[in-house]
Amino acid sequence: MTSREPSTSPEDDLPEEEASQGDAAQGSAPRDDLSRDDLSQGDAAQGAVAAQEAEAPPPLAAVTPPLVRLERVVASDDAGPHGDARGRLHHAEAAFAPGVHMILGTPEDGTLALAHVLSGRTRPSSGRVRVGGHDPARHAKTRARLGALLGAPELPDTRTVAAVVEMAQRARGEARPSAAALLDGRGLGRLLARRPVSLSFAEARAVELALALSTPEPLCVVLVEPFAEVTSLDAAALRVELHALAEKGACVLVLTSSRTDAWALGDHVHQLDRGVLLPALPAGRGGEIVVQVEEPRPGEEAAGGGVRALATALTEVPGLQAVAWEEAQRAPQVPSGGDTPHPTPPAPTLALSTLRVRAADLDAASLSILDAATRAGVVLASIRTATPPPTRRQVGRTVQPGGGR
């Protein structure tokens, strides 16, 4: 349960800001191969489509997918010592439809910061968060349909656990609050008469998980490590319950550092890496994965990283059929300032190289790529499955990259 309400000010009544979006362009040099096999050619062109909201958001009952949207969100948590940030989000972008989405990462990667802005506990420093078309930090009716289990329990200190539970049920509009009906069915009835401050960490999380899962008509349920440090947890029953919520139209977001839990539960597995939220990881049997890799900025090459470092790390991974890359080229930069005696040096540009991996098992290959990137100190910009190669009939009408040989 989230007990802290976001601060309000007169600006809350003003129209919500529009987030700016930019496009980036880059070139690529001929690729080097680490395999004798030729990788299938996929389409390289990708466009960015910005979804615009209507002036008046639709009623909650009429919301259509995606239910949850992040637009260039910059945020931090307060989970470090003395309330300092433990992790941050850096211009995170995502759109989540109803279903079970696993966010794979650690608090240092920004999982707690993400949970805080999704639940409406805090507002991002910049960017926009929308749940059901509304800002959860500003819209009380949206927060009433948000279930949240955050990293640390936040139960208020009242007389009993029963009083806390029923207070939360009334706050979200339940006509007949009953703590006993909620907790008895989850094997937590023994906690009803105790004071919240007397609960252990795992017991308090169990109460908050029960409240999150019982949210009336939930739009979104955000859970941080729900399979860890929770008293009386039936993991198998919890997986069934999360999928049942998704089937009823809820967006279930589970943030975890456990890859076993992520692949066992999620319909979609996303990677949160050092504040950058990647699209859903490729999964399934057999195919090709396309990875965009950030190259070191000028002057930082000695620190390593980049597509060559990742490709080298992947040569040690069994089960991969082929690995190849296309190394990005930075456009020549001319210092600004014209003929002035002290021209301003140009700002370093971000260069993205492309790495392609072919494997018989995309689940295992995705995890291997993430492991290799961590070992090699490589920053991933995106990871996706390759566009299927054209059919034989289409090949004759398709202009091939590099001049259409």
Say if residues 213 and 186 touch (Cβ distance below 8 Å). no
The domains of the chain are located at: 63-273, 281-330+349-395
Establish whether domains 63-273 and 281-330+349-395 are of one fold.
no
Lowest model confidence (mean pLDDT) among 125-134, 169-178, 283-292: 283-292
CA atoms within 13 A on the CB side of 204: 18
Confidence of residue 26 (pLDDT cuts 50, 70, 90): very low
Residue 325 or 297, more confident: 325
pLDDT at 347: 53
CA distances from 298 to 36, 304, 312, 346, 380 (A): 32, 12, 21, 11, 18
pLDDT tens-digit map of 274-311: 888 887 877 777 788 899 898 887 766 656 678 999 99
Torsion of CA 367, 35, 361, 250, to 10 degrees: 50
Residue 335 has pLDDT above 70, yes or no: no
Lowest model confidence (mean pLDDT) among 32-41, 159-168, 184-193, 237-246: 32-41
Confidence of residue 123 (pLDDT cuts 50, 70, 90): very high
Gyration radius (Cα) of the chain, Å: 24
pLDDT at 226: 95
CA distances from 220 to 134, 146, 151, 254 (A): 12, 5, 17, 11
Which range has highest mean pLDDT (4-8, 319-323, 326-330, 390-394)? Answer: 319-323
Q: Does domain 281-330+349-395 have CATH number 3.40.50.300?
A: no
Please give the single-letter amino acid code of residue 369.
I
Q: What is the mean pLDDT of the chain?
A: 77
What is the phi/psi pair of residue 29, to 5°? -95, 170
Torsion of CA 22, 27, 33, 38, to 10 degrees: 80
Residue 399 has pLDDT above 80, yes or no: no
What is the phi/psi pair of residue 110, to 5°? 115, 15
The correct CATH number of 63-273 out of 3.30.360.10, 3.20.20.70, 3.40.50.300, 3.65.10.10 is: 3.40.50.300
CA 231/CA 57 separation, integer angstroms: 40
Burial status of residue 325 (CB atoms within 10 A of its CB: 0-12, 13-18, 19 or more)? buried
pLDDT tens-digit map of 181-208: 999 989 999 999 999 999 999 999 999 9
**DSSP character string of 306-320:** SHHHHHHHHTT-TTE
CA distances from 250 to 98, 156, 171 (A): 5, 27, 20
Longest dimension (CA), the chain: 79
CB atoms within 10 A of CB 147: 26
Lowest model confidence (mean pLDDT) among 6-10, 156-160, 202-206, 332-336: 6-10
